[in-house]
Chains A and B, each alone.
Chain A
Amino acid sequence: MTIDMSQFNDVFFEESQEHLDEMEHLLMELDLNDPDPEALNSVFRAAHSIKGGSDIFGFKALTGLTHVMENLLDRARKQTIKLSVSIVDLLLEMIDVLKSILACYRNDSDIDWELVGTSTRRLEDAVKVTSEDEPVDESDNEGDFGFFESPIIKEEVEEFGFFEDPQASKVSASDDEDFGFFEDVENKDVKEESNDDEEGFGFFDQDEPALEEKAKADDKEVVQSNNSEPPAEITSQEKEPSNSVASVVKSVPNPVANDAKVVEAKANDVPATTKPAATPVKAARRPLKPVEKTPESSTIRVETSKVDTLVNLVGELVITQSMLAMIEEEVDEGVSEKMLIALVELERNTREIQEAVMSIRMLPISFVFNRFPRLVRDLSSKLNKTVDLNLEGATTEIDKSLIEKLADPLTHLVRNSIDHGIEVPEERAKAGKTAKGTITLKAQQKGGSILISIIDDGAGLNRERILNKAAENNIPLQKNFQDSDVWNLIFAPGFSTAAEVTDVSGRGVGMDVVKRNIESLGGRIEIESTAGQGTAFHIHLPLTLAIVDGMTVDVAGEIFVVPLVNIIESIQPDQTQIRLIKNEPLLWVRGEYWPIIPLGSCLSVSNAIEDPSKGIVVLVESAKKRFGLLVDDLVGQQQVVIKSLERHYKRVPGVAGATIMGDGSVAMILDVESLSHSVTSQEYVQQAEAI
């Protein structure tokens, strides 16, 4: 059987990258005093998967290094060595090396063999040092799943045989303990189902899904050997019903409650056909993780362009559906009723499709956040600072395309906070703060946008230093600079107040790139800073592609959408509620004066109603201001899909995006936040005068 392996390369790269990320993540979370064996197993499995895969694809640099790494991890999880900070550090470093090698293979660039060599030697040394304590216990190997540990893939075939020997009863016992794991991965999609032939099997063994499948097979074998089934079953395992797995566990008096629960659910659906295994199950040596803790779920890899096509097509479907609804009004009465029923059904279905498709693109922001514990750990130890990282709102969902582009700016900001923001412990103590600094990464959905904050409790921005630096850089300065204006200076290109340039930050290329990156996503960045108390960067990002609940309003025949989250209420004002101050109308409602923005003049629509008592005022609230929008009429409330104007045009002030209405026409979605800028600060003066 010959397969063109190169077609699997991309899949291998993707998966290896994920495995490395997972390893890093798990190692970071590891409690060194009481390491979680499941976590160690996962790390080990990840290394094993990369090793196996790289061997098959001929990425030798990866194979060698992961092999040694695996040896070390193997000892760690069997607790023959004690994990120390230095070992974890070494492993993390090796993960970085592996990542760079992976990148080299991916980009077809040259491998730094010297680095691979030294890295391998360092790992080998670590293994040697640690293995002097205790020889590897072979019998221990049997207690666990033999084939996971096999350093060489070929051995796995032999281990199949092992399961068929008389010792099977012993294996089935230990088997049970690992059941939790296999059930967990069970959901993961099995890519190659009909892989009966031996050669192919060797290949797919490298992948986790295949491992899981093999595990199933092994379970079967265990049971079957108890029932004196011929060993030939092994090649035709896919054709076998897998209910034997369930029945074994069900019928065995099982002290491991977790286990039984997991499998029993399955067993209920399947009639038990095999005789129960007679062996009593050993008590578990270690507690099993609850199923839901394992993040593995059934996923498939899909190109984003395919999802985008789907999103567009669904948009078209929605429009076609509303066209049908319009036609329905014109058809004969007899047909009309039947058609209406069908249309209602169609509407519901399309709405559900739309929601489902939209949710495909949304990912929790933890995809970006998860890289930061490592970054903070490495950087703070390098700079001799102690820093705690808090992650909040990591489940906030955000469009995938934003996630990819957020990583760089956020990394810059976090690095900056550690390098410039957080002081060294001595200084912190002097300032009466805890020696340990804190950085908080927070994500939340606020109105129609996502707010991501990077907050540190460091020294805060230094107004004097920034102003001096600005003068040095010949940036024109006004006399009465507001603090916020001063802070914004740090976004100027080439601006850095760091006394010395470190390799962490201070080159002054960071912040202006951050700002531009965020603006290219249609977002904006704000700084809040208090001297001595810390700095907060707030990034406001639009929910591109998200559906927004909106109120459609009419201004002289043009339709606009006001995001519902911004709306407090809509009223038809009485003449008595309106005061004119310096020709600016103010609306007295709810015991407050509200400035009124006539939407027509704001968005250059002619012939709009200008007298507030003749139109409708929509009271809205932005992050900082409350005001009324004067419109001609309200049209209705509906969900709209935000489409980017910037895709083919550019950003328009006051407009958050566009949407396509039921009749196929385009309507602008208003950005209340930026509209509020036209409410000048003199409103407060006016308010004061009015009262």
Chain B
Amino acid sequence: MNQASNEKENLIMDGQEFLTFILGEEHYALDIMTVKEIRGYEAVTKIANAPPFIKGVLNLRGDIVPIIDLRIKFEVGQVTYDDFTIVIMLNIANRVVGIVVDGVSDVINLSMNDIKPAPEFGVAFDSQYLHGLARLEDQMVILVNIEALISSDELGLYESNRDLDIRENNNELA
């Protein structure tokens, strides 16, 4: 079931809008519909015994929201926090999570024809988290399947999806 939904998410609609952001030297883009807001980096509260890329949690108007730093997780760019460091707040599957990036640059419109399949190597992210590549004014933009990435077991942000699925199914049975 998971597999099926992932494939579904991989389909990109014509004219879909993407937010481009920068990690290190590379340009990435994610589906703008998942973006809740963009804000500057501010101090977070650490979570005990969490992996280093989970920076901690912060108070987003009363919600306790985890902040992850993809630069640490995928070892891209320099991990620095300054006035220009940006946090993109994402709303994925009714959960809010913030990702730390070096900057956001633009909102772009892409159609199916613009998107080339992702290479198996050479990109920090595993290809299962990518929609593909797009060329934009001499620049290569990597389209991240952010929903698959955030809810992946690899990040371990949530209890594993399979567990949740089973739980839901069981709840229905019960």
Contacts and interface: CB of A to CB of B under 8 A. Distances in A.
Nearest to B97: A648
Interface in B33-83: 43-50, 56-59, 61-66
Question: Top 4 nearest A-B pairs by Cβ distance?
Answer: A603-B48, A312-B62, A666-B45, A649-B66
Interface in A657-685: 658, 660, 664-668
A445 B54 CA distance: 34
A666 B170 CA distance: 34
B158 interface: yes
The interface residues of chain A, by DSSP majority, are classed as mixed
B64 A653 contact: no
Interface stretch (A214-222, A268-276, A384-392, A512-520): A512-520
B94 to A, nearest CB: 9
Contacts of A604: 46, 48-49
A650 B65 CA distance: 11
Given A315-B62, A509-B170, A652 B47 contact: yes
A509 B173 contact: yes
Given A513-B173, A558-B45, A316 B62 contact: yes
A560 to B, nearest CB: 9
Interface string A586-597: 000000000000
A513 B173 CA distance: 9
Contacts of A658: 45, 57, 64
Nearest to B56: A666
Interface in A27-72: none
Contacts of A650: 156-159
Nearest to A651: B159
Interface of A: 312-313, 315-316, 408, 412, 509-510, 512-513, 516-517, 520, 558, 602-605, 643-645, 647-655, 658, 660, 664-668
| Residue from the set A412, A605, A649 with the largest chain B CB neighbour count within 10 Å | A649
A37 B173 CA distance: 41
A558 B44 CA distance: 11
B64 A643 contact: yes
A512 B95 CA distance: 26
Given A520-B167, A602-B48, A604-B48, 6 more contacts: A558-B45, A648-B63, A649-B157, A650-B156, A653-B49, A667-B45
A144 B47 CA distance: 67
Contact of B50 (A316, A652, A665, A666): A652
A664 B170 contact: no
A666 B64 contact: yes
Interface in B91-140: 95-97
B174 A408 contact: yes
A668 B45 CA distance: 8
A660 B48 contact: no
A296 B158 CA distance: 43
Nearest to B160: A650
- Chain B interface category by residue count: 20 to 34
Contact of A652 (B43, B48, B97): B48
Contacts of A605: 46, 48
Given A558-B46, A604-B48, A649 B57 contact: yes
A513 B163 CA distance: 12
5 contacts: A408-B171, A643-B62, A649-B66, A665-B45, A666-B45
B64 A516 contact: no
Contacts of B159: 650-651
B64 A644 contact: yes
B48 A655 contact: yes
B158 A665 contact: no
A648 B66 contact: yes
Contacts of B59: 660, 664-666
A430 to B, nearest CB: 35
A501 to B, nearest CB: 15
Nearest to B57: A666
Contacts of B156: 650
Contacts of B61: 312, 316
B65 to A, nearest CB: 5
A666 B48 contact: no
Contact of A412 (B46, B49, B174): B174
A602 B157 CA distance: 21
Nearest to B65: A648
Nearest to A512: B170
Given A649-B158, A650-B158, A666-B57, A660 B173 contact: no
A471 B95 CA distance: 41
A316 B95 CA distance: 20
B160 to A, nearest CB: 10
A513 B64 contact: no
Nearest to B91: A648
Given A516-B167, A665-B43, A666-B59, A649 B64 contact: yes
A652 B49 contact: yes
A647 B167 CA distance: 16
A604 B173 CA distance: 41
A558 B47 CA distance: 11
Nearest to A309: B62
A629 B156 CA distance: 29
Contacts of A513: 170-171, 173-174
A654 B158 contact: no
A644 B56 CA distance: 14
Given A412-B174, A604-B48, A645 B167 contact: no
A666 B59 CA distance: 6
Contacts of A660: 59, 62, 64
B95 to A, nearest CB: 5
Interface in B11-34: none
Nearest to A308: B62
A512 B74 CA distance: 37
| Residue from the set B44, B45, B61 with the largest chain A CB neighbour count within 10 Å | B45
A647 B64 contact: yes
A557 to B, nearest CB: 11
Contacts of B64: 643-645, 647-649, 658, 660, 666
A664 to B, nearest CB: 6
B147 to A, nearest CB: 15
Nearest to B61: A316
A510 B96 CA distance: 32
Contact of B63 (A510, A647, A652): A647
Contacts of B97: 648
Contacts of A647: 63-64, 95
B151 to A, nearest CB: 12
A603 B49 contact: yes
| Residue from the set B96, B97, B174 with the largest chain A CB neighbour count within 10 Å | B174
A315 B170 CA distance: 35
Contacts of B44: 666
B62 A648 contact: no
A517 B57 contact: no
A182 B47 CA distance: 57
Contacts of A602: 48
B95 A648 contact: yes
Nearest to A666: B45
A12 B149 CA distance: 45
Contacts of A649: 47, 57, 64-66, 157-158
Contacts of B170: 509, 512-513, 516
Contacts of B46: 558, 604-605
